[in-house]
Chains A and B, each alone.
Chain A
Protein backbone atom coordinates (compact mmCIF):
# COMPACT_ATOMS: atom_id res chain seq x y z
CA UNK A 1 0.00 0.00 0.00
CA UNK A 2 1.32 3.46 -0.86
CA UNK A 3 1.51 5.48 2.31
CA UNK A 4 3.62 8.46 3.31
CA UNK A 5 7.06 7.45 4.61
CA UNK A 6 6.51 8.78 8.10
CA UNK A 7 3.44 6.58 8.58
CA UNK A 8 5.14 3.27 8.02
CA UNK A 9 6.42 2.94 11.53
CA UNK A 10 4.30 2.56 14.61
CA UNK A 11 5.69 3.88 17.84
CA UNK A 12 4.60 4.67 21.38
CA UNK A 13 3.21 7.99 22.54
CA UNK A 14 5.78 10.46 23.77
CA UNK A 15 8.56 9.61 21.34
CA UNK A 16 9.64 11.96 18.62
CA UNK A 17 9.20 10.74 15.07
CA UNK A 18 11.08 12.00 12.07
CA UNK A 19 9.50 15.23 10.88
CA UNK A 20 6.68 15.08 13.40
CA UNK A 21 7.60 15.87 16.99
CA UNK A 22 4.71 15.14 19.33
CA UNK A 23 4.08 18.85 19.86
CA UNK A 24 3.11 19.07 16.20
CA UNK A 25 0.54 16.29 16.26
CA UNK A 26 -1.86 17.73 18.80
CA UNK A 27 -5.19 16.82 17.22
CA UNK A 28 -7.89 19.45 16.74
CA UNK A 29 -10.51 16.71 16.44
CA UNK A 30 -10.48 13.50 18.47
CA UNK A 31 -12.83 10.57 17.85
CA UNK A 32 -13.18 7.71 20.34
CA UNK A 33 -14.37 4.46 18.71
CA UNK A 34 -13.15 2.04 21.39
CA UNK A 35 -15.46 -0.97 21.58
CA UNK A 36 -17.16 -0.14 18.27
CA UNK A 37 -17.21 -2.60 15.37
CA UNK A 38 -17.50 -2.44 11.55
CA UNK A 39 -18.36 0.00 9.98
CA UNK A 40 -18.60 2.53 12.85
CA UNK A 41 -14.89 3.47 13.23
CA UNK A 42 -14.63 4.10 9.47
CA UNK A 43 -17.90 6.07 9.48
CA UNK A 44 -16.92 8.17 12.50
CA UNK A 45 -13.53 8.85 10.93
CA UNK A 46 -15.26 10.05 7.75
CA UNK A 47 -17.59 12.30 9.76
CA UNK A 48 -14.57 13.83 11.50
CA UNK A 49 -12.98 14.52 8.10
CA UNK A 50 -16.17 16.34 7.08
CA UNK A 51 -15.99 18.47 10.25
CA UNK A 52 -12.28 19.25 9.93
CA UNK A 53 -10.86 22.31 8.27
CA UNK A 54 -8.02 21.80 5.75
CA UNK A 55 -4.74 21.31 7.63
CA UNK A 56 -6.39 20.24 10.89
CA UNK A 57 -5.30 17.02 12.58
CA UNK A 58 -7.77 14.27 13.41
CA UNK A 59 -7.10 11.52 15.93
CA UNK A 60 -9.13 8.32 15.86
CA UNK A 61 -8.76 5.90 18.75
CA UNK A 62 -10.25 2.43 18.54
CA UNK A 63 -9.96 -1.26 19.31
CA UNK A 64 -11.49 -2.81 16.15
CA UNK A 65 -8.58 -4.60 14.45
CA UNK A 66 -9.61 -4.37 10.77
CA UNK A 67 -10.32 -0.64 11.12
CA UNK A 68 -6.66 -0.05 12.00
CA UNK A 69 -5.85 -1.27 8.49
CA UNK A 70 -8.89 0.21 6.74
CA UNK A 71 -8.84 3.78 8.05
CA UNK A 72 -5.40 4.27 6.42
CA UNK A 73 -6.91 2.90 3.17
CA UNK A 74 -9.65 5.56 3.40
CA UNK A 75 -7.00 8.20 4.17
CA UNK A 76 -5.24 7.31 0.92
CA UNK A 77 -8.48 7.10 -1.04
CA UNK A 78 -9.53 10.55 0.24
CA UNK A 79 -6.15 12.05 -0.60
CA UNK A 80 -5.40 12.93 3.04
CA UNK A 81 -2.12 12.65 4.93
CA UNK A 82 -1.53 9.77 7.33
CA UNK A 83 0.71 11.16 10.06
CA UNK A 84 1.21 8.18 12.35
CA UNK A 85 -0.29 5.06 13.89
CA UNK A 86 0.34 4.37 17.57
CA UNK A 87 -0.32 1.12 19.40
CA UNK A 88 -1.38 1.07 23.04
CA UNK A 89 -1.49 -2.27 24.83
CA UNK A 90 -2.83 -5.31 23.02
CA UNK A 91 -5.68 -3.87 21.03
CA UNK A 92 -5.96 -0.09 21.25
CA UNK A 93 -4.67 2.01 18.37
CA UNK A 94 -4.49 5.74 17.65
CA UNK A 95 -4.44 7.01 14.07
CA UNK A 96 -3.43 10.61 13.35
CA UNK A 97 -4.48 12.14 10.04
CA UNK A 98 -4.12 15.59 8.56
CA UNK A 99 -7.12 16.86 6.55
Chain B
Protein backbone atom coordinates (compact mmCIF):
# COMPACT_ATOMS: atom_id res chain seq x y z
CA UNK B 1 0.00 0.00 0.00
CA UNK B 2 1.39 3.38 -0.96
CA UNK B 3 1.35 5.77 2.01
CA UNK B 4 -1.30 8.44 1.81
CA UNK B 5 -3.47 6.57 -0.65
CA UNK B 6 -6.25 4.11 -0.10
CA UNK B 7 -5.90 0.44 -0.78
CA UNK B 8 -8.45 -2.06 -2.06
CA UNK B 9 -10.21 -4.98 -0.42
CA UNK B 10 -11.70 -4.52 3.02
CA UNK B 11 -10.49 -0.92 3.30
CA UNK B 12 -13.70 0.33 1.82
CA UNK B 13 -16.85 2.02 3.13
CA UNK B 14 -20.22 1.88 1.36
CA UNK B 15 -23.02 4.05 2.69
CA UNK B 16 -26.63 4.23 1.51
CA UNK B 17 -28.10 7.73 1.84
CA UNK B 18 -31.83 6.96 1.94
CA UNK B 19 -32.94 9.94 4.02
CA UNK B 20 -33.07 13.44 2.60
CA UNK B 21 -33.13 15.07 6.03
CA UNK B 22 -30.48 17.69 6.76
CA UNK B 23 -29.19 16.00 9.91
CA UNK B 24 -29.03 12.53 8.37
CA UNK B 25 -27.39 13.62 5.11
CA UNK B 26 -24.92 15.57 7.24
CA UNK B 27 -24.13 12.42 9.25
CA UNK B 28 -23.60 10.47 6.02
CA UNK B 29 -21.27 13.12 4.60
CA UNK B 30 -19.28 13.46 7.84
CA UNK B 31 -18.87 9.68 7.98
CA UNK B 32 -17.89 9.61 4.31
CA UNK B 33 -15.27 12.30 4.86
CA UNK B 34 -13.97 10.51 7.95
CA UNK B 35 -13.65 7.23 6.09
CA UNK B 36 -11.75 8.93 3.26
CA UNK B 37 -9.47 10.69 5.74
CA UNK B 38 -8.64 7.30 7.26
CA UNK B 39 -7.69 6.01 3.81
CA UNK B 40 -10.80 4.00 2.96
CA UNK B 41 -12.26 4.04 -0.54
CA UNK B 42 -15.74 5.38 0.03
CA UNK B 43 -19.01 5.24 -1.88
CA UNK B 44 -22.25 7.06 -1.10
CA UNK B 45 -25.33 5.62 -2.80
CA UNK B 46 -28.10 8.25 -2.90
CA UNK B 47 -31.57 6.73 -3.11
CA UNK B 48 -35.22 7.71 -2.37
CA UNK B 49 -35.36 10.92 -0.32
CA UNK B 50 -31.58 11.08 -0.24
CA UNK B 51 -31.49 11.41 -4.02
CA UNK B 52 -33.57 14.59 -3.81
CA UNK B 53 -30.57 16.27 -2.18
CA UNK B 54 -28.65 15.79 -5.45
CA UNK B 55 -31.25 17.81 -7.36
CA UNK B 56 -30.23 21.30 -8.39
CA UNK B 57 -30.59 23.38 -5.21
CA UNK B 58 -31.44 20.23 -3.25
CA UNK B 59 -28.87 20.65 -0.48
CA UNK B 60 -30.29 24.02 0.55
CA UNK B 61 -33.80 22.59 0.81
CA UNK B 62 -33.06 19.74 3.21
CA UNK B 63 -35.55 19.63 6.10
CA UNK B 64 -34.77 18.47 9.65
CA UNK B 65 -35.80 14.92 10.58
CA UNK B 66 -37.38 16.21 13.82
CA UNK B 67 -38.88 19.57 14.78
CA UNK B 68 -38.63 20.98 11.27
CA UNK B 69 -41.68 23.17 12.09
CA UNK B 70 -42.32 24.13 8.45
CA UNK B 71 -38.72 25.22 8.05
CA UNK B 72 -38.39 27.23 11.27
CA UNK B 73 -36.57 24.39 13.01
CA UNK B 74 -34.24 24.02 10.06
CA UNK B 75 -33.49 27.75 10.08
CA UNK B 76 -32.74 27.70 13.82
CA UNK B 77 -30.58 24.60 13.50
CA UNK B 78 -28.62 26.04 10.58
CA UNK B 79 -28.03 29.24 12.56
CA UNK B 80 -26.79 27.25 15.56
CA UNK B 81 -24.58 25.15 13.31
CA UNK B 82 -23.05 28.24 11.70
CA UNK B 83 -22.29 29.64 15.15
CA UNK B 84 -20.69 26.34 16.16
CA UNK B 85 -18.69 26.51 12.89
CA UNK B 86 -20.21 23.22 11.67
CA UNK B 87 -19.63 22.80 7.94
CA UNK B 88 -22.62 23.13 5.59
CA UNK B 89 -23.83 20.20 3.48
CA UNK B 90 -22.36 21.93 0.40
CA UNK B 91 -18.93 22.24 2.03
CA UNK B 92 -19.05 18.63 3.26
CA UNK B 93 -19.97 17.35 -0.21
CA UNK B 94 -17.27 19.49 -1.81
CA UNK B 95 -14.67 18.07 0.63
CA UNK B 96 -15.98 14.55 0.09
CA UNK B 97 -15.46 14.94 -3.66
CA UNK B 98 -12.03 16.56 -3.19
CA UNK B 99 -10.87 13.55 -1.15
CA UNK B 100 -11.92 11.21 -3.94
CA UNK B 101 -15.26 10.03 -2.54
CA UNK B 102 -17.58 8.37 -5.03
CA UNK B 103 -21.27 9.24 -5.49
CA UNK B 104 -23.79 6.91 -7.12
CA UNK B 105 -27.31 8.08 -7.99
CA UNK B 106 -30.10 5.49 -7.82
CA UNK B 107 -31.68 5.09 -11.25
CA UNK B 108 -34.75 3.35 -9.88
CA UNK B 109 -35.49 6.37 -7.69
CA UNK B 110 -34.98 8.61 -10.72
CA UNK B 111 -37.65 6.61 -12.58
CA UNK B 112 -40.07 6.65 -9.63
CA UNK B 113 -39.66 10.39 -9.05
CA UNK B 114 -39.53 11.29 -12.71
CA UNK B 115 -36.04 12.77 -12.43
CA UNK B 116 -33.77 13.03 -15.44
CA UNK B 117 -29.98 13.35 -15.26
CA UNK B 118 -30.24 17.03 -16.19
CA UNK B 119 -32.41 17.58 -13.08
CA UNK B 120 -29.49 16.47 -10.91
CA UNK B 121 -26.13 18.10 -10.08
CA UNK B 122 -24.36 15.83 -12.54
CA UNK B 123 -20.92 17.17 -11.63
CA UNK B 124 -21.34 15.60 -8.17
CA UNK B 125 -22.27 12.16 -9.53
CA UNK B 126 -19.74 9.54 -10.64
CA UNK B 127 -22.17 6.90 -11.82
CA UNK B 128 -25.80 5.91 -12.04
CA UNK B 129 -27.02 2.48 -11.02
CA UNK B 130 -29.37 0.34 -8.99
CA UNK B 131 -29.04 -2.38 -6.37
CA UNK B 132 -26.46 -4.43 -8.27
CA UNK B 133 -24.11 -1.46 -8.51
CA UNK B 134 -24.35 -0.78 -4.79
CA UNK B 135 -23.95 -4.42 -3.75
CA UNK B 136 -20.94 -4.70 -6.02
CA UNK B 137 -19.38 -1.72 -4.22
CA UNK B 138 -20.42 -2.99 -0.77
CA UNK B 139 -19.54 -6.67 -1.04
CA UNK B 140 -15.94 -6.17 0.12
CA UNK B 141 -16.58 -3.16 2.35
CA UNK B 142 -15.49 -3.11 5.99
CA UNK B 143 -18.12 -0.48 6.77
CA UNK B 144 -21.64 -0.51 5.36
CA UNK B 145 -24.32 1.86 6.65
CA UNK B 146 -27.90 2.70 5.81
CA UNK B 147 -28.78 6.24 6.73
Contact = CB atoms under 8 A, between A and B. Distances in A.
Interface in A32-73: 35-40, 42-43, 45-47, 49-50, 52, 54, 73
A39 B32 CA distance: 10
B132 interface: no
Contact of B4 (A36, A39, A42, A99): A99
Given A38-B30, A73-B38, A43 B99 contact: yes
Interface string A4-26: 00000000000000000000000
Contacts of B85: 35-37
A38 B95 CA distance: 13
Interface residues of A, number: 22
A74 B39 contact: yes
Contacts of B95: 39-40, 43, 47
B86 A77 contact: no
Nearest to B92: A39
Contacts of A43: 33, 36-37, 95, 99
Contacts of A78: 3-5, 38-39
B1 interface: yes
A80 interface: yes
Contact of B86 (A37, A52, A80): A37
A89 interface: no
A50 B6 CA distance: 11
Contact of A42 (B1, B5, B34): B34
Interface in B1-41: 1, 3-5, 30, 33-34, 36-39
Given A35-B85, A36-B85, A45 B3 contact: no
B98 interface: yes
B33 A49 contact: no
A73 B37 CA distance: 10
5 A-B pairs with the lowest CB-CB distances in the bound complex, closest first: A46-B37, A42-B37, A77-B38, A78-B39, A79-B3
Interface of A: 35-40, 42-43, 45-47, 49-50, 52, 54, 73-74, 77-80, 99
7 contacts: A37-B85, A39-B92, A39-B95, A42-B34, A50-B99, A77-B39, A80-B3
